[in-house]
Chains A and B, each alone.
Chain A
Amino acid sequence: MMTRLFGLLLFGLLASGCASKPSSYVVLMESPDGSTGAITVSTAQGTTLVNQKQQGVMLDGKAAQTAVPVEPQRIAADFTPALNAQPALPVSYLLYFKSGGAVLTDESKLALQEVLKTIISRGPSAVSVIGHTDTESGAAWNEKIGQKRAETIAKLLRDNGVQVLELVVTSHGERNLLVKTPDDTAEPKNRRVEVLVR
């Protein structure tokens, strides 16, 4: 508790410095998925690892290198406009296919409607469509099937009014299995198209 108080006090002092204006600093935040990652901050004074949320390091070129807590009010005062300008988080969807071709399963046909609705509501997006297969049949053939599946979905996106800034269509064939299997194995979860919307 004392260290925490001291940290806050220290940060306040450092932040005010000689001038009354808040200075330069970096602060770690909770990630969108609820986890907290880490950053390293290197200055002339050395390198500091920050791995606790709402901990920061001064970047004024003078202060000692320690991670200290940053008050939420301070974060809000400095970063609200930047946070409000954050684009929608990228999302990805998986659609599954019947064996041997580019026909969606009945479940995925239904899911597709939701996917389309969500993508359209995001507005202009960069979209990647990646086709995959299971390990039945040969690798070269599966590259083609993967491509055919991806192109089927890409066409559906275009035909349904998705505003694409770019639409990149690729096939991974049987090279990128969701469920690892031996060769020549039918696996419904591997017969899929991944739609990544940014």
Chain B
Amino acid sequence: MLFNKKTSPRALAGLFLVACVAHAEPGDKPIGYVMKVSGEAFVVTDGVARPASVGMPLQVGSSLRTGPAGTLGVTFEDSTLMSFGPNSELKVDEYLYEPAKGDLKLNANISRGTLNYISGVIAKLKPEAVEVHTPTGTIGVRGTHFLVKVEEAGR
């Protein structure tokens, strides 16, 4: 997405972020992008799964999913990086990045698979605003790099 340079990106970002919290719709300002993909990988937004490709935008509420031989890497607006091994699924439940107003939030839920996580500006400015949920626990991020593996129940 290319901004018209005459508009005020700051004002636009603020408006779009408010819209994102209320309900994520395609066309909202992306919160991040797919940067790396191999094999079967999907971005699910509003219930529609699209095969992931480099440059594909992510929205609040998007799920990231990989197949048995798929991997996927995404970069968020605040420079948070996430990458996934095969058979993984993570949903971005909340994302707010408006440092000038102090509105910061990253709340994600990994239900299965493997995640490599490198935190960005949100964790640096407001560590308590970042949470990664798994089926049995919650990871609070104090600005760092971690790996998490979630084995599905019953497997």
Contact = CB atoms under 8 A, between A and B. Distances in A.
Interface of A: 21-32, 36-44, 57, 59-61, 75, 78-90, 123-124, 126, 151, 154, 164-170, 196, 198
Q: Which 8 residue pairs are nearest across A and B when measured between Cβ atoms?
A: A37-B144, A87-B35, A81-B85, A40-B140, A85-B71, A85-B83, A82-B85, A43-B137
A60 B54 CA distance: 34
Main secondary structure of the interface of B (DSSP, over half): strand
Given A39-B142, A88-B35, A25 B83 contact: no
Given A85-B36, A167-B2, A32 B71 contact: no
Given A37-B119, A59-B136, A75 B146 contact: no
Contacts of A154: 5
Given A59-B150, A85-B72, A165-B33, A79 B85 contact: yes
B147 interface: yes
Interface in B69-105: 71-75, 77, 79, 81, 83-86, 88
A31 B118 contact: yes
A87 B145 contact: no
B75 A42 contact: no
B114 interface: yes
Interface centre among A41, A43, A60 (most CB of B within 10 A): A41
A86 B145 CA distance: 12
**Size range of the interface on B?**
35 or more
Given A26-B139, A40-B140, A126-B33, A170 B9 contact: yes
13 contacts: A24-B136, A27-B146, A31-B143, A31-B144, A37-B119, A42-B139, A59-B134, A78-B85, A79-B116, A82-B83, A84-B71, A84-B83, A90-B75
A112 to B, nearest CB: 19
Contacts of B13: 168
Nearest to A62: B136
B71 A82 contact: yes
A28 B117 CA distance: 10
B52 to A, nearest CB: 11
